[in-house]
Structures are given as structure tokens and as C-alpha cells.
Amino acid sequence: MLFAVASKDGKEINQHFGHVERFLIYHVEGDSVALLEERPVEKYCRFDPDHPLRAHTLRDTADALKGCRAVVCSMIGEAPKAELERLGVEPYVVEGEIEPILRDLAKAL
């Protein structure tokens, strides 16, 4: 199962969805957690009052994360969360060490 992780340091889930410029893609199978690649994305939060919901950016992010079961981040706004769900990407909000969290999440899914 593939997960997209928002992390500043590659050790912890510690980045807000809207601040991500790249997602770490992990494969989880049983107790095995392996970093496969980094996938670049356009940063969602641009603080542009004329474009509060940047739907095109979310579509592009969802396309970049094809094949991932979920996106795991430390925070996400309600509008992007709802749009990602509509596009078929499940967001999960959690903070902490990447590997144990992904193991637990994979078991729950």
C-alpha cells in the first residue's frame, strides 16, 4: 500500500498539507515500511485572496499522488480536505514518527 507523507525532515509527519512542495512516497506491507521516492507538487497555500480554493493545484496534486491510498500530514484545511476526498485521495491528519504511524494506518485500512 502506498502513502504520501508530508514531512520537513523525512523522519516525522510534521508538515501542513498546504506548505508541501514534495511528498515522500512510502510503500507499506506488513511491518515493512520503505521510502520509494519523492514527488514534487505545487505548494497549495499561496495566500491569494482572489483564489482561496486552488482547485487546479489540488487536481494536479491528486494526479501526482495517483496510486497512493492516503495522504498523511500534520494539518489540512477543510476546503482542500473535502476537495481531495472528492478527487479520491484520503487525507489523514496525524503527527509523529513516520514508520510506526504508517504501519498502524496500513493495518486500519
Centroid of chain to Cα 73: 5
Residues 45, 52: Cα–Cα separation, whole Å: 9
- What 3-state class would DSSP assign to 7? coil
* The three grid cell numbers given for residue 52, joined into one nine-digit string: 482561496
Residue 20 phi/psi, 5-degree rounding, is -75, 135
CATH code assigned at 101: 3.30.420.130
- pLDDT tens, residue by residue, 3-60: 999 999 999 999 999 899 999 999 999 999 999 999 999 888 766 555 555 667 888 8
Per the structure, the complete domain to which residue 68 belongs is given by 2-108
- Count: domains in the chain: 1
Using alpha carbons only, give the angle 13, 101, 22 rounded to the nearest 5 degrees. Answer: 35
pLDDT in tens, 70-85: 999 999 988 888 888 8
Q: Indicate the pTM of the whole model.
A: 0.89
